[in-house]
Structure 1
Amino acid sequence: MTRTSLRRAAAVILAILLLGLPLPAQNLDFTKGRRHFPFFFAPYTARHVPQPSLTNSPRIETLTRDGKLYLSLQDAIFLALENNLDIAVARYGPDIAETDVLRTQGGGLARGAGGVGTATALGGGPVGSFDPTISYSLNWTRRDIPQTTNFITGTNELKTTPMTNNVTISQSFATGTSVSFIFDASRTSTNSLRSSFNPSFGSSMQVGFSQRLLSGFGFGPNLRFIRVAKNNKQISDQTFLQQVMDIISNVKNAYWELVFVREDVKVKEQSLALAERLHQDNRRQVEIGTLAPIEVVRAESEVARTRQDLIVSQTSLLQQQITLKDLIAKNPMDPLLALVEVIPTEAVETPEMPEVIPIQDAIQIAMEKRPEIIQAQVDLKNRGITISAVKNSMLPTLDAFGFYTGSGLAGQINQLALSDPFFTPPDPQFIGGFNRSVTQAWQGDFPNYGFGVTLTIPLKNRSAQADTARALIEERQAQVRYRRTVNSMIVEVRNTQVALEQNRARIEAAEKSRRLFQETLEAEQKKFQLGASTIFQVIQAQRDLSQAATQEVRARVDFKRAQVAFDRALGRTLERSSISVEGAQTGVVNP
């Protein structure tokens, strides 16, 4: 490695250490702020947020063979987790909620957590910033002031050059306490003959505190926004899981609908084949004179009708593929996907008896797992925290405060004043430089201290009354909303359970109906060949069989959809889809 390369590498490392530039492979946790060590300037630089990936995952190419995308249901679910843009958008919600946690930990107000919560705060906020603050000021001035008399300054043109420095460190705490440390230092040069020092050095050190005793006292009102922000993070997590459940349910439904339309195309193809065979048989019979020509026209009409039904079914197949591609791809127009035919590898077989769960147990499962229920429960906790805080804000403000200040003064004897017959040399303890001044202040040679209380009583107190009333009203509203959510969940669980049982019974009835219509068609065809039936009866039997076959497939697919709805109602969509919460959050899944 050349010296130039070494210098470049050293420069990059130095920039990272000093500026806190983003390092690769970081796990983003926005609830934790960046610290000064080991990157001193890290808290003053923006966090690295990766750019979103808008290209389809490699899994699509892996599953594509000979221009066809072969998909199992689990493959479709995994592709949705990796590529679905609605899920990708929802993943940012918890991160946004984490920024509110970090902001409130510093004493700020929440800005609204990823689609949940609100930035409007009832009552007062924390007593101050929980992050320590250091401020420094430097002021240099040159003054040239004419004097009406030289009795006071010994000159008619007073010239001074003061330079002042100030350092202030302050911080507030969750108990309602605020502390501060202030250091002042000054240096002043002058041409006054009456000044004992030139230059003179002054300094002071002050330690102060204040403590809320009524409104704003204690952890409750001061940690309120942190607790609410953390709860909003839970709500945002549940909102994300709810979105994932909805998308996965949509993917399952779209997959089974694709299976249905493919089977329906096969049914329509069989119907067309039967109509064409009947048409050919009729033409032969007309040619040999055993059938009237009108029967050929009827058969041709049936061929046209079944061909039209096939075209409609094929169109539905193309549309359903587009719907499924949109759910499992970030870019459905990707050349690797746009013209690819989707082939589902799973068929709708006759299912076993549906899962039987007592209704009370099903409701209990939903109460524990449904994201909407958990969101409403956490929201009620937030309402309680808010009510406690706004009640505290109704109290008068009573602050206890105290301070201690040490002062110092030093300087060199003013040489200009030595010619003044009235000049008196200063006390030797004041002769010196800046260090002597600071030592006096630090040792408390010239102390000042005090304490007191400040009481503020808002007459009428209408703002606080309004905030408290609103907080209570909103809590009552949230309680009713929670009950409404629970009731809706109960109705959904009961309805989906009934639908699951009914759709299983439909399958048995549809299978039997299809078998009977198959036997009817075969009987009508034999009778027609013997001259005991008419072409109309044969065509009607073909139509009945086609409809029965479609209804059989429809019943099986509806049972699958009922299972999807039942799992969604119980809040167990993820576990029934072999998806972990971590996999849903990261979008990284392993079959």
Structure 2
Amino acid sequence: MHSNIFAIGLLCSVCLEAQYATFPQGNYFRETFGNKITRVELRSPVRLTDSVIGDKLELSLRSYLELVMANNTDVQIQRLNVETAANAITRAFAPFDPLATASFTNTRSKTPANGVLDGAATVSTLNQPANFRYQQTLETGTQYNVAFFGQKQTTNSGFQNFNPALNSNLSFGFVQPLLRDRGGLVNRLPITLAKSRLRQSQYQLRDQIMRLLADAENVYWDVVFARENLAVAESSLELASASLKRSQRELELGALSPLDIFQPQQVYASAEIRVSQARFALSQREDALRKQIAADLDPGIRRLPLVLTEAVLPPTDTGAIDAEMKVERALQMRPDLKAAIQELDSDDIGIKVIRNVLKPALNLTGTYTSQGRGGIFNQRGNLANSFGQSTPVISRIPGGFGDALDQVFGFGFPIYQFGITLRLPVRDRAASANLSDAIINKRRDSLAVRNIEQTTRLDVLNAVNNVESSKASVKLAIVARDFAQKRLDAEQKKYELGTSQIFFVLQAQSDLIQAQSELVRESVNYRRNNLNLIRRTGELLDERGVYID
């Protein structure tokens, strides 16, 4: 008996140790039965006031990108995808969650007697069974259960010695897989797959954040370009205004023909149109920038004028870019390539899952049950007299449920059961087809990785060429602007000396404005092409000091 008690105690301690991590915590009932708040409250934009200086919203490129990461709605949406993947890991632990069940029934019946041995003309019976069961699957694949059964049965039959009769038993059972689902490595494959999916989601998040950050920075440079373009248009208006005033003065003095005043007036009107269009374009670009940092959601911030501190300067790096080094860097850093490679890891895990399903299901089962009985014992001399009637009760020995429990935990009436079950599919076409599909998917994903590598190389080479082309274009635009300025100065001196006409002066002014506008455009294009290069190499987040937790 002592050995039985020791064995049962050891089994209980092992069960408790196995389910310690999954047993409900103290807040189980509060989380299960409490009223959870499902209302979604969106937080207001943050840290916008840090960039308010005076009555203006002043933004450097770095502070602007920090506000994008903190407030941009698209960025917050992408972050939620990672949280969903993290929840999938929790879901993958569900097969190892313990389950407790309990039941109680109360049944009263009256049936007519079928014979004298029923003990009464009308047999009245009250049956009250109760069941309690706890079961769990361990990560090793072992399934165990602990069950307790108690029953109280009362009858008016005269032949029942125990009335009421109290029966109880305590049972322990297990199922140990020997082939399919055997071992922690196989049973943890869904968890490993969920973790692999989480890493893939994290790579995809970095890729999406890089795309959103590049788009946001392009919006910043759109505003800078619109601002510089407005400055060029206003400069053009000033030159046109000065030319028009001079021409009007010459007309008043009779030095200019009345027919020649129309060209300066037309040039001035065109310059006014360009300024108006540039102002509207700048306003549109600024509204797009406010949306990127969610400043449009704050009534006090969205009315403030914007001041962008980044200037459009010619490139200072005159050295040639090592294209092959950039390609190698991209192959190491690109998150979309890492996500595709991570998909191959998920394919390997899926193949292992299907190979496990192909194995025969061979299980070792075992059950130990300890029984007990109690109740009031009615002692009779004989079962029945010569007339088939039950004999009177000689004595009543009192008893109760405690007697049944004593016998249960005394382990004097045990039941042992061990067995082996085998489920051997003669031919499993569904699993075989699933395995073939999994191998095909891995081959397809391998080709997808190669395709991304090829696309990465092409993207980086094109980005390098665009940066080098922008460098050359900026240099040529500077030269063209300088020559246009010299030409305008020369035409104005010639006009003052009377050797040139107002038409050539206005033409030179138009060429200078066009050269200045072209220099601004090429300088901003250089910034955009350089941004595109560091995005294609996967270095954008590191270059901009952005950390994704």
My pick for the range that moved more, 455-464 or 314-323, is: 455-464
Alignment pair present for 1:132 and 2:69: no
Are residues 423 and 443 of structure 1, via their aligned partners in 2, closer, same or farther at CA, if it must alter by over 3 Å? farther
When the two structures are superposed, what TM-score results if normalisation uses the length of structure 1?
Answer: 0.83
Shift of 1:357: 5.6
Contact 2:360 / 2:425 at 8 angstroms: preserved in 1?
yes
Aligned match of 2:227 in 262, 277, 281?
262
Partner residue, 2:327:
363
Residue 132 (structure 2) pairs with residue 144 (structure 1): no
Match of 1:566 in 2: 533
* Secondary structure at 2:307 match in 1: strand
- 1:332 equivalent among 293, 296, 300: 296
Q: Which residue of 2 aligns with 1:432?
A: 399
Deviation, 1:419, is 9.2
Relative to structure 1, is the Cα distance of residues 464 and 521 closer, same or farther in structure 2, using a 3 angstrom cutoff?
same
Give, in whole Å, the separation in 1 of the partners of 2:496 and 2:281. Answer: 36
Checking the alignment, whether the CA contact within 8 Å between 1:417 and 1:423 is kept in structure 2 is no
The whole-number CA distance in structure 2 between the counterparts of 1:337 and 1:356 is 43
* Structure 2 counterpart of 1:4: none
Aligned to 1:521: 488
> Alpha-carbon deviations, 1:34-64, whole Å to 9, x = none?
974443525525777894434222x323323
User: Residue 28 of structure 1 corresponds to which residue in structure 2?
Assistant: none
Check whether the contact 1:153–1:195 (CA below 8 A) recurs between aligned residues. no
- Alignment partner of 1:392 is 2:359: no
Q: Distance in 1 between matches of 2:108 and 2:380?
A: 19
Match of 1:189 in 2: 154
- Residue 343 of structure 1 aligns with which residue? 307
Counterpart CA distance in 2 for 1:354 and 1:391 is 58
Equivalent position amino acid for 1:307 in 2? E
Question: Cα distance 1:209–1:36, how it changes in 2: closer, same or farther (>3 A)?
Answer: closer
| Post-superposition offset of 1:185 | 0.9
- Distance 1:543-1:184 versus aligned 2 partners, 3 A rule: same
Task: Give yes or no for the alignment of 1:239 onto 2:204.
Answer: yes
Once the two structures are TM-superposed, the CA of residue 255 in structure 1 deviates from its matched residue by 1.3
Match of 2:246 among 278, 281, 304: 281
Greater Cα shift, 518-527 or 490-499: 490-499
| TM-score, normalisation: structure 2 | 0.89
| Structure 1 position 431, deviation (Å) | 7.4
Secondary structure at the aligned position of 2:105 is classed as: strand
Q: 1:92 to 1:74 in 2, by over 3 A?
A: same
> Aligned-pair distance for 1:384?
0.3
Matched, 1:44 2:32: yes
2:501 to 529, 534, 542: 534
> Compared with structure 1, are the counterparts of its residues 274 and 417 closer, same or farther at alpha carbon in structure 2 (3 Å cutoff)?
farther
1:240-289 Cα distance to aligned partner (Å, 9 max, x none): 22222222222221112211111111111111111121122222222222
Counterparts of 1:436-447 in structure 2 under 5 Å? 436-447=403-414
For residue 152 of structure 1, give the secondary structure of its aligned residue in structure 2.
Answer: helix
Question: 78, 82, 87: which is aligned to 2:70?
Answer: 82
* SS of alignment partner, residue 142 of structure 1: strand
Matching residue's letter, 2:122: E
484-493 vs 362-371, greater mean Cα deviation: 362-371
Q: In structure 2, do the counterparts of structure 1 residues 45 and 233 end up closer, same or farther at CA, with 3 Å as the change threshold?
A: farther
CA-CA distance at 1:379 after TM superposition: 1.1
Distance 1:188 1:567, change over 3 A: same
Distance 1:261 1:225, change over 3 A: same
Aligned equivalent of 2:15: none
> 1:319-362: per-residue Cα shift (whole Å, max 9, x none)?
11011111011x51532133322111221122311676633432
Change in CA separation of 1:526 and 1:172 when aligned onto 2, cut-off 3 Å: same
Structure 1: unaligned runs, 5 residues or longer: 1-32, 108-129, 583-591
Please name the residue that 1:97 is paired with: 85
Hey, what's the Cα distance between the residues in 2 that align with 1:173 and 1:503? 63
TM-superposed deviation, 1:300: 0.9
Match of 1:410 in 2: 374
In the alignment, the residues of structure 2 paired with residue 356 and residue 90 of structure 1 have an alpha-carbon distance, to the nearest angstrom, of: 36
Residue of structure 2 in register with 1:62 after alignment: 50
Q: Which moved more, 1:449-458 or 1:193-202?
A: 449-458
Q: Which runs of 5+ in 2 are unaligned?
A: 1-20
**Structure showing greater Rg:** 2
Residues 205 and 406 of structure 1 are in contact (CA less than 8 Å); yes or no, is this contact kept in structure 2?
yes
Structure 2 SS opposite 1:414? strand
Alignment partners' CA distance in 2, 1:459 and 1:48: 52
How many residues are matched?
Answer: 524
Aligned residue identity for 2:447: V
Shift in CA distance, 552/287, structure 1 to aligned 2, threshold 3 Å: same
Contact 1:366/1:570, CA 8 A, preserved across alignment: yes
Shift of 1:221: 3.6
Alignment CA distance shift 1:217-1:37 (3 Å)? closer
Q: Distance in 1 between matches of 2:163 and 2:22?
A: 47
Report the more deviating stretch, 208-217 or 43-52: 43-52
In 2: Cα distance, 1:301 partner to 1:361 partner = 54
- The 1:355/1:444 distance shift into structure 2, 3 A limit, reads farther
Residues 477-556 of structure 1: pairs in structure 2 closer than 5 A: 477-556=444-523
Q: Find the residue that maps to 2:471 and give its secondary structure.
A: helix
Counterpart position of 1:309: 274
List per-residue Cα deviations over 1:55-107 (Å, max 9, x = no partner): 222x3233234542111111211111221001111222222212111111122
Q: Give a deviation string over 1:218-245, Cα, whole Å, max 9, x none.
A: 3344212101111111122222222222
Offset of 1:504 from its aligned partner? Answer: 1.9
After TM superposition, the structure 1 stretch with the greater mean CA deviation from structure 2, 133-142 or 65-74, is 65-74
Does the Cα contact within 8 Å between 1:517 and 1:548 map onto a contact in 2?
yes
Paired residue secondary structure (2:317):
coil
Q: CA RMSD in A?
A: 2.7
Paired letter, 1:138: F
Q: Secondary structure at the match of 1:161?
A: strand
On the 8 A contact 2:22/2:98 being kept in 1, the answer is no
Q: 1:195: how far off? A: 0.9
Distance 1:458 1:35, change over 3 A: closer
Q: 2:159, 2:383 within 8 Å by CA — same for their partners in 1?
A: no
1:418 Cα offset (Å)? 8.4
Percent identical pairs in the alignment equals 29
Q: Tell me which moved more, 65-74 or 383-392.
A: 65-74
Whole-angstrom CA distance in 1 between matches of 2:470 and 2:457: 20
Distance in structure 2 (CA, Å) of the matches to 1:318 and 1:396: 71
